[in-house]
C-alpha cells in the first residue's frame, strides 16, 4: 500500500490564519496578549487591574473568549472597547475566532489588544491566535504541581504571573518546587508573583508590559 | 476536548495530501504525538469515527506514535523519563535538567489506495479512442 510522506503540523491550517492576523496586528502597531489560566485563576481580575493602571498611557482593546457577557460587561465598565468572542462552549480560542472578531474592535486606534482565552490549562496552549505574547496566570490555591501536570502551557509562556500570593500563608504551596518546574520547562521565562487583592507585585508586571508595548511602538515608527 | 478541532485538522490534512497524490482512499494515518502535547489518543479516535464518515478517509486506521519527553541532567549527563512529578536526576539528584523532545504533534505520513478503477478507466478510454479512430 503506497505511503505518502506528510510531516506537517496538524494545526497548520490554524497557524496560517494566525500568521495572517499577526501580520495585520504588526501593520497596525498593535501588541496582542493571549491571557491563559485555569477557570478562577484570575484572568479577568488581572486584565481589569492592568487596564485601570495603563489606560491613560496606552489605547487598550479587549477580546473576551467566553459564552456569557459577564466579563465583557465588567471590562466595558472601565471604558475600553471590548468584544465577546463566543466560543460556543469550545474549550479554547482558535485563530479563526480571533480573526473574525478583529473587525468588532477599533483596531487602528489601539496600542494593546488583550485576548482573554477560555479558562483551561490544557487546550489553549496548542492554538496560535496571532498574538505576540503568551501570558499564563497560575494561582496559589491551584497548587504548586501545575507546571508538572500541564507542561505544554508553561513551556509556551512568555510571561508567567503567579496570582493570589496573599494566600501563601494559608496554603501549602512550595514556591521553590513550582519555580523549579517552570524553570526547567521554560528557562528564563519572565515571572511575576502578584496579588490582585493587595496589588503586591503588580508594578513589576506593569513595567514589563509598558516596555513590551513601547518596543512595539518604536518598531512600528521606525 | 480540543481533540475535536485537532481531529478535524487531521482529517483535512490527510484528505488534502491524498487528493494531491491522486489517491482514491486513505487507509492509514501515522500520527506523532509528544508526551507534553496534551492530546488524548482515544479522544481523537472517538471523533475520527464520526467525522471521517463520508470522506475518502472513512475507515482509515489511526496509528499513534507517542514520543516521550527526554530529560537530561546537566551535571552527570544521565538521561531519564519525565514522570510529571519532578525534575530531579535519579542518578545524581542534580536539579539542572534540560528537556529534549516531547512537544511533537504532526502527521508523519498517510497510507493510501491508488485508484485501480481509474487505471482501468483510462485503459478503456484509450481503447474507445482507438475504436473511434
Verify whether the Cβ–Cβ distance B38 to A184 is below 8 Å: no
Q: Which residue has the cell 459564552?
A: A67
Residue B92 lies in a domain: no
pTM here is 0.90
Residues of A in contact with B87 (CB under 8 A): 148, 180-181, 184
Verify whether the Cβ–Cβ distance A6 to B28 is below 8 Å: no
Cα A211 to its chain centre, rounded Å, is: 17
- pLDDT tens string A93-117: 999 999 999 999 999 999 999 999 9
Residue B45 lies in a domain: yes
- pLDDT tens string B73-95: 999 999 999 999 999 999 999 99
Instruction: Give the pLDDT band of residue A28 (cuts 50, 70, 90).
Output: very high
- pLDDT tens string A50-101: 999 999 999 999 999 988 889 999 999 999 999 999 887 788 999 999 999 9
pLDDT at B125 over 60: no
* Maximum pairwise Cα distance, chain A: 65
For residue A104, give the DSSP letter.
G
For residue A67, give the DSSP letter.
S
CB within 8 A of A129, min separation 6: which ones?
A18, A21, A32, A34, A93, A94, A95, A98, A115, A117
Q: Are B11 and B51 in contact (CB under 8 A)?
A: yes
C-alpha cell at B103: 512537544
C-alpha cell at A221: 515608527
Q: Which residue has the cell 537530561?
A: B72
Residues of A in contact with B31 (CB under 8 A): 10
Residue B58 lies in a domain: yes
Residues of A in contact with B110 (CB under 8 A): 3-4, 6
B18 touches chain A (CB under 8 A): yes
B68 touches chain A (CB under 8 A): no
Distance from the Cα of A97 to chain B's closest Cα (Å) equals 13
Which segments of chain A are extended strands (E)?
Answer: 3-9, 31-37, 60-66, 82-86, 112-116, 133-139, 159-163, 190-193
Q: Rounded distance, CA A29 to CA A59, Å?
A: 11
Domain boundary assignment for chain A: 31-214
pLDDT for B133 equals 46
Residue B36 lies in a domain: yes
Distance from the Cα of B93 to chain A's closest Cα (Å) equals 14
Residue B78 lies in a domain: no
C-alpha cell at A166: 496573599
Domain that holds residue B22: 3-69+100-132
Rounded (to 5) percent helix, strand, coil in chain B: 35, 30, 40
Q: Rounded distance, CA A220 to CA A76, Å?
A: 28
- pLDDT tens string A119-140: 999 889 889 999 999 999 999 9
CATH of the domain at B64: 3.30.2320.50
Q: Of A3, A122, A148, which is closest to B85 when you measure between CB atoms? A: A148
Q: Which CATH superfamily is domain A31-214 in?
A: P-loop containing nucleotide triphosphate hydrolases (3.40.50.300)
Q: Are A79 and A55 in contact (CB under 8 A)?
A: yes
Nearest partner of A110 among A157, A63, A43, judged by Cα = A63
pLDDT for A207 equals 98
Mutation choice for A interface testing from B9, B12, B39 by most A CBs within 10 A: B9
Q: Rounded distance, CA A144 to CA A155, Å?
A: 16
Q: Of A3, A12, A148, which is closest to B13 when you measure between CB atoms? A: A12
Instruction: Give the pLDDT band of residue B127 (cuts 50, 70, 90).
Output: low
Q: Rounded distance, CA A122 to CA A37, Å?
A: 9
Distance from the Cα of A3 to chain B's closest Cα (Å) equals 4
Q: What's the mean pLDDT in B27-47? A: 93
C-alpha cell at B39: 492530546
Q: Are B21 and B2 in contact (CB under 8 A)?
A: no
Nearest partner of A59 among A68, A67, A51, A71, judged by Cα = A51
Taking only residues 116 to 175 of chain A, the set having a beta carbon closer than 8 angstroms to any beta carbon of chain B reads 122-123, 125-127, 145, 148-152, 155
B120 touches chain A (CB under 8 A): no
Report the residue count for chain B: 133
C-alpha cell at B12: 483535512
Q: Are A182 and A191 in contact (CB under 8 A)?
A: yes
Beta bridge partners, A83, equal A63
Residue B125 lies in a domain: yes
Residues of B in contact with A7 (CB under 8 A): 106-109
Residue B80 lies in a domain: no
Residue B86 lies in a domain: no
pLDDT at A156 over 50: yes
Amino acid at each position: 500500500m503506497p505511503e505518502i510522506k506528510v510531516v506537517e503540523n496538524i494545526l497548520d491550517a490554524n497557524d496560517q490564519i494566525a500568521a495572517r492576523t499577526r501580520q495585520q496586528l504588526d501593520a497596525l502597531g498593535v501588541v496582542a496578549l493571549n491571557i491563559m489560566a485555569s477557570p478562577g485563576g484570575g484572568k479577568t481580575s488581572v486584565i481589569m487591574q492592568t487596564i485601570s493602571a495603563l489606560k491613560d498611557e496606552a489605547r487598550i482593546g479587549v477580546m473576551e473568549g467566553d459564552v456569557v457577557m459577564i466579563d465583557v460587561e465588567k471590562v466595558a465598565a472601565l471604558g475600553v472597547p471590548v468584544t465577546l468572542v463566543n466560543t460556543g462552549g469550545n474549550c479554547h480560542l482558535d485563530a479563526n475566532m480571533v480573526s473574525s472578531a478583529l473587525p468588532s474592535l477599533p483596531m487602528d486606534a489601539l496600542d494593546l489588544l488583550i485576548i482573554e482565552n477560555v479558562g483551561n490549562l490544557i487546550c489553549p496552549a496548542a492554538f496560535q491566535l496571532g498574538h505576540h505574547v503568551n501570558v499564563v496566570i497560575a494561582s496559589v490555591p491551584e497548587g504548586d504541581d501545575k507546571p508538572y501536570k500541564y507542561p505544554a502551557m508553561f513551556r509556551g509562556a512568555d510571561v508567567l504571573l503567579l496570582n493570589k500570593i496573599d494566600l501563601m500563608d494559608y496554603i501549602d504551596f512550595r514556591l521553590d518546587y513550582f519555580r523549579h518546574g517552570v524553570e526547567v520547562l521554560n528557562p528564563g521565562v519572565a515571572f511575576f508573583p502578584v496579588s490582585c487583592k493587595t496589588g503586591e507585585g503588580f508594578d513589576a508586571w506593569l513595567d514589563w508590559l509598558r516596555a513590551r508595548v513601547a518596543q512595539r511602538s518604536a518598531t512600528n515608527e521606525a | 476536548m480540543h481533540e475535536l478541532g485537532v481531529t478535524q485538522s487531521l482529517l483535512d490534512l490527510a484528505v488534502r495530501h491524498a487528493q494531491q497524490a491522486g489517491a482514491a482512499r486513505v487507509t492509514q494515518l501515522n500520527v506523532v504525538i509528544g508526551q507534553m502535547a496534551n492530546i488524548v489518543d482515544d479522544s481523537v479516535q472517538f471523533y475520527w469515527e464520526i467525522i471521517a464518515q463520508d470522506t475518502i478517509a472513512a475507515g482509515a486506521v489511526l496509528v499513534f506514535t507517542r514520543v516521550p519527553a527526554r530529560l537530561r541532567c546537566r551535571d552527570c549527563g544521565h538521561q531519564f523519563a519525565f514522570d510529571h512529578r519532578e525534575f530531579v536526576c535519579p542518578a545524581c539528584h542534580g536539579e539542572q535538567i534540560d528537556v529534549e523532545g516531547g512537544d511533537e504533534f504532526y502527521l508523519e505520513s498517510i497510507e493510501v489506495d491508488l485508484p485501480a478503477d481509474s487505471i482501468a478507466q483510462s485503459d478503456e478510454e484509450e481503447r474507445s479512442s482507438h475504436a473511434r479512430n
